[in-house]
């Protein structure tokens, strides 16, 4: 939708403003962009998404033109108006007063979402006192039990007297739940049951000719501090062929460097084939998750989408001091495997522990069942179930969600 093709809206249609500050990854903008589109498409709302770094968001929204977001109205994409939060492209040199003045030129919305405590621009907050909209602070997703108590809580701003309501996504009926489009599961099922659609998808990515017929398809999206070399080594030396798909970026560069080092040392990773693919838009990334049999994901947005993909997953939460992220990981895994067997739960928890701390290795011994070894965690727990042939998704998909 071009700048001149703003969607027609009734005068009585409520307007929602979503403010998103893009920090250092794609989780914040990923969640906010999905939320904005769903509010517009499925609820018929006027939605305006305020971004401080549209040039970064462009990787997720390919048709986004940062220049068109620096005016009001902004650029319309998928029925959502996208506006530049600040006049300067570089947040470090932005003039806060000028930026606030730009935001204040826009009419305050009926509902204002402050995503992940990003702090609203001062001028916009001041104008909110006149209209007194519903003010929602969208919090990060967590499976920890304390979230149930704090969801839908309220606080009063000390200087404006405005009430801020706290929305916590979560995994219980006492939270806000998980973001999901109404037809997502039907679309996923149609894709996963249609071999032609899958073949066309791999063709679109340009990897179809190099795929191995018997290989397990694995997607890898992780933070830089992940024990990348250990999982690459384990996959390369394992018994199962693996087609590994990595989006372009720092991790892809590390992977390519590792492959080159292995080749220079005379080692050929016969069982592992790496595929560097473009950084995908959200609809295409969903299809990648649906098409793979195991997904390594990180942060929040890719984590949620991997859950909805219904495939085995390994999650890397965003690193926090004092190992707080490991507490969040443990809380999720306990809920995720609520109805799993004790042995399966132990193995998958060990796999997550390896990915988030210790790294992986191969064991030279053969299990008592006589089957070849697959990757093991450093603490010695078997990783046989990393391979989907022995890790059926029906065993790890909590039907109670």
Residue 347: active-site member: no
Residue 99 in contact with residue 85, Cβ under 8 Å? yes
**CA–CA dist 242, 339 (Å, integer):** 29
Q: How many CA atoms lie within 13 A of 400 on its CB side?
A: 9
Question: Of 28, 286, 301, 347, which residue is the catalytic one?
Answer: 28
**CA–CA dist 12, 110 (Å, integer):** 11
**CA–CA dist 313, 163 (Å, integer):** 39
Tokens of 349: 């928890």
Strand partners, 75: 82
Residue 207 in contact with residue 288, Cβ under 8 Å? no
Tell how far CA 373 is from the center of its chain. 31
**CA–CA dist 188, 198 (Å, integer):** 11
**CA–CA dist 293, 214 (Å, integer):** 12
Sheet holding 294-298, edge to edge: 272-277, 242-247, 216-220, 294-298, 313-316
Count of CB atoms situated within 10 Å of the CB of 283: 8
Contacts of 164 (CB under 8 A, 6+ apart): 114, 135, 136, 137, 154, 155, 156, 157
Strand, helix or coil at 259?
A: helix
Residue 39 in contact with residue 79, Cβ under 8 Å? no
Question: Of 100, 102, 139, 300, which residue is the catalytic one?
Answer: 300
Residue 322: active-site member: no
Strand, helix or coil at 182?
A: coil
Instruction: State the catalytic residues.
Output: 28, 300
């Amino acid at each position: 939708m071009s700048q001149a093709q703003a969607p027609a809206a009734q005068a009585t249609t409520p307007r929602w403003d979503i403010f998103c500050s893009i920090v250092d990854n794609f989780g914040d903008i990923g969640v906010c962009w999905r939320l904005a589109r769903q509010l517009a498409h499925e609820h018929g709302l006027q939605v305006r998404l305020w971004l401080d770094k549209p040039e970064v968001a462009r990787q997720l929204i390919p048709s986004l033109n940062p220049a068109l977001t620096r005016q009001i109205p902004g650029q319309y994409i998928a029925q959502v108006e996208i506006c530049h939060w600040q006049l300067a492209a570089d947040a470090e040199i932005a003039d806060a007063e000028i930026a606030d003045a730009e935001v204040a030129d826009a009419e305050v919305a009926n509902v204002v979402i402050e995503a992940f405590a990003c702090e609203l621009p001062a001028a916009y907050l001041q104008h909110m006192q006149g209209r007194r909209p519903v003010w929602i602070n969208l919090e990060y997703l967590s499976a920890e039990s304390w979230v149930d108590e704090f969801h839908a809580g309220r606080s009063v701003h000390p200087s404006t007297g405005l009430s801020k309501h706290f929305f916590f996504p979560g995994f219980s009926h006492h939270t806000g739940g998980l973001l999901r489009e109404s037809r997502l599961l039907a679309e996923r099922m149609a894709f996963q049951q249609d071999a032609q659609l899958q073949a066309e998808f791999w063709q679109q990515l340009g990897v179809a000719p190099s795929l191995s017929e018997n290989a397990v398809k694995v997607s890898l999206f992780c933070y830089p501090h992940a024990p990348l070399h250990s999982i690459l080594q384990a996959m390369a030396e394992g018994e199962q062929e693996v087609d590994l798909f990595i989006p372009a970026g720092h991790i892809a560069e590390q992977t390519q460097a590792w492959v080159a080092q292995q080749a220079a040392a005379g080692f050929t990773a016969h069982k592992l084939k790496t595929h560097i693919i473009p950084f995908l838009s959200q609809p295409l990334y969903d299809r990648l998750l649906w098409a793979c049999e195991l997904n390594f994901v990180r942060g929040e947005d890719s984590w949620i989408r991997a859950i909805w993909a219904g495939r085995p997953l390994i999650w890397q939460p965003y690193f926090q001091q004092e190992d707080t992220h490991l507490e969040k990981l443990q809380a999720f895994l306990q809920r995720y495997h609520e109805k799993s067997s004790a042995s399966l739960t132990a193995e998958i928890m060990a796999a997550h522990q390896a990915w988030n701390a210790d790294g992986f290795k191969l064991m030279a011994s053969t299990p008592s069942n006589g089957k070849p070894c697959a990757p093991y965690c450093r603490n010695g727990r078997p990783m046989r179930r990393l391979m989907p042939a022995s890790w059926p998704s029906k065993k790890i998909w909590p039907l109670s969600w």
